[in-house]
Amino acid sequence: MPEVWRPYFLSINGPVSVTDSVILNGETATAVAAGLCTPEDAKVLAGRTDPQIINESLALTIQCTATVSNMGRRLHVRNMEVKSAAFSSHHFTKVAEGE
């Protein structure tokens, strides 16, 4: 069985913490992206030309952006559903109490 790989993220400012943001800080984003590459990825990238690496990097950026955007949409919809359910529940309680 292969050794378990555990990424860690180290930026120029030190380890990336839970309060750092990949959206708001380029150094954090770079550290996280670099930390996501496994040793096998490094071997694969070593055999690629600069244009290939750039194209694959752009493709990965687009995929990540789409994923984050989809997560944002889902969270927004869920938030609206929760607010709607809370409003309906509150409204139903008031009607049941005769207000």
pLDDT along the chain (99 residues), means of 10: 69 84 84 82 87 86 86 91 82 62
At 24 the pLDDT is 87
Per the CB < 8 A criterion, the answer to whether 5 and 38 are in contact is: yes
Both 63 and 95 in one domain: the answer is: yes
At 1 the pLDDT is 67
Both 4 and 19 in one domain: the answer is: yes
At 36 the pLDDT is 80
Both 56 and 27 in one domain: the answer is: no
Both 38 and 78 in one domain: the answer is: no
Please list the alpha-helical segments (H only) found in 6-49.
26-36, 39-46
Residue-wise DSSP of 50-95: HHHHHHHHHHHHHHHHHHHHHHHHHHHHHHHHHHHHHHHHHHHHHH
Burial of residue 35, with CB atoms counted within 10 A of its CB: 0-12 exposed, 13-18 middle, 19 or more buried: middle
The residues that bridge with 15 in the sheet, in sequence order, are 10
At 12 the pLDDT is 84
Both 28 and 60 in one domain: the answer is: no
At 60 the pLDDT is 82
* pTM greater than 0.75: no
Range of the domain at 85: 51-99
Both 42 and 64 in one domain: the answer is: no
At 90 the pLDDT is 66
Largest CA distance in the chain: 74
Both 64 and 97 in one domain: the answer is: yes
Per the CB < 8 A criterion, the answer to whether 20 and 28 are in contact is: yes
- Residue 51 has φ and ψ, to the nearest 5°, of -60, -40
Total domains present in the chain: 2
